[in-house]
Structure 1
Amino acid sequence: MYLKYLYLISLGVSAITGIYQMNKITRQLKTVALLCTYTFLLELSVFLFRHNFGYQGNILPQYNFFILVEFMFYAYFFKQIVKNTYVLKAIKLFLFIFPVLWYIFSFYCFNIFQWSSYSFVFGGTIIIFFALIYCYEKLTSNETTSLLNEGEFWVAIGLIVYYTCVVPYMGMFHYLTANYEQLAVKLKKLNLITNIIMYLLFAYAFLCKMIKTEKYSS
């Protein structure tokens, strides 16, 4: 249970930091900050309804809808920062077809009350690809700015860490819960740990410019 609390705290820190820095961060980071705020409100409401009001109903519809929101936000984030022309076309294509695929996966392959693993695996894999392309562009560019102060870079790193670890697990979610329930419970901890790492990296990303400013002014 303590991992769940740490996850909520790290998510809250990321959301609050993003809101606090909203006037100072780039337009691209504002996209991530808004998504963090939405995610925090969603997770907090689920947590409170379950622990304070004893709600035991199916919460998968909320998370299935969240899949659509998060991947559209992340794709739009990379659309603003990736420079490769072909990858930009791929991002635009993803933004167009993913809602259609999400609808098919969520209502025909499964139903809205079941975990839409196909949507998560497809979206997560594509986001890993976009993040890797962006990191490659940053690492091979001739820019002299330090990556320590590039908030977008740390968001990309956080996304790579999280989705690389979690996509295989969430893709096998139905199989694991049906056949290896204890293993599924243990792997759920990996989901929480990588979430914590990702949102702490997001919080750092929102503070990058302020840290840089204070460093040079001292």
Structure 2
Amino acid sequence: MDFRIPYFIILSIGSIVGIYRINSLTKSSKLFLLLLVTTFVIELASYFMGKILKNNLIIYNIYMPIYLNVFLYGIVADIKREKILWMGLFFLILWGLTYLYTGSIYKFNTLALQMSLIIQIIVSLVALFDLLKSDTLEPLIDFPLFWICSGFLIFSSANLIALGAYNYINRSEILVSIFQKLRIYSNYLLYILFLVSFMVKQNSIKK
């Protein structure tokens, strides 16, 4: 079965549930709903572009800084660490410089993706730390931020390891298969946890 079929199903269910519950979502959850719906549209566009033009990397490359910045705004909407937003500007500059270096936006930008994953890991850890030290009697599972950051932490770590060890992994067909499946299933998990975050109590960190 094409891995995109369950992927599109997960994105569509998450979008429907999030839109249905939009009035009860926190500002942070609404931003992650925007990220989910936008990702769904981008994935559909890239799928059809790949069928027609055989190269859909330009869509992913352009969407990369947009995706990261919406992620950062979604986190900051809850933990109120505005300085985190500077990471988005830093990434945008780095993203632009990498294309000046490669000379083409139609090529896979490994360096920019790795930096994006590193930022997602760092910010997710910071947000989870703030959640753990917050003065609340509510369980962690009742915070949308817990599910979102857990998903990004798992997804970004798995893909960063795969990209960082690509030359070594590429020597073995078994390892290539393992990490391909890891990338696919971590992607599924990330957006399943988006869905969970829309369904739980919409508690937010109080500052």
Fold agreement, TM-score > 0.5: yes
Of 35-44 and 4-13, more deviation after overlay is shown by 4-13
CA deviation string 1:169-202 (max 9, x = no partner): 23566x579x548454552221110011111111
Match of 1:133 among 126, 129, 149: 126
- TM-score w.r.t. the length of structure 1 is 0.82
After TM superposition, list the pairs within 5 Å mapping 1:49-198 onto structure 2: 54-83=51-80, 88-89=82-83, 91-109=84-102, 111-171=104-164, 175=167, 180=171, 182=173, 183-184=175-176, 186-198=178-190
Asked if 1:202 is matched to 2:194, the reply is: yes
- TM-score w.r.t. the length of structure 2 is 0.86
Percent identity at matched positions? 25
Q: What is the RMSD computed on CA atoms of the aligned residues?
A: 2.4
Q: 1:12 to 1:172 in 2, by over 3 A?
A: farther
CA deviation string 1:80-136 (max 9, x = no partner): 2225x6xx42x1321222211111113424521111111111111111111111111
Q: 1:7 to 1:93 in 2, by over 3 A?
A: same
1:9 corresponds in structure 2 to 9
Unaligned runs of 5+ in 1: 213-218
Q: 3-state SS of the aligned residue for 2:136?
A: coil
CA distance in 2, matches of 1:180, 1:35: 35
2:21 corresponds in structure 1 to 21
Q: 1:181 to 1:45 in 2, by over 3 A?
A: farther
CA distance in 2, matches of 1:198, 1:97: 25
Whether the 8 Å contact between 2:144 and 2:197 is mirrored in structure 1 is: yes
Letter in 2 for 1:189: K
Q: CA deviation at 1:13?
A: 1.5
CA distance in 2, matches of 1:127, 1:26: 21
Q: 1:188 to 1:55 in 2, by over 3 A?
A: farther
Q: How many residues align?
A: 202
Whether the 8 Å contact between 1:121 and 1:168 is mirrored in structure 2 is: no
CA deviation string 1:49-96 (max 9, x = no partner): 55xxx435211111111211111111111222225x6xx42x132122
Letter in 2 for 1:37: V
Whether the 8 Å contact between 1:155 and 1:205 is mirrored in structure 2 is: yes
CA distance in 2, matches of 1:64, 1:25: 30
CA distance in 1, matches of 2:53, 2:181: 21
Whether the 8 Å contact between 2:69 and 2:85 is mirrored in structure 1 is: no
1:43 corresponds in structure 2 to 43
Q: 1:197 to 1:126 in 2, by over 3 A?
A: same
Whether the 8 Å contact between 2:47 and 2:56 is mirrored in structure 1 is: no
Of 55-64 and 25-34, more deviation after overlay is shown by 55-64
Whether the 8 Å contact between 2:18 and 2:33 is mirrored in structure 1 is: yes
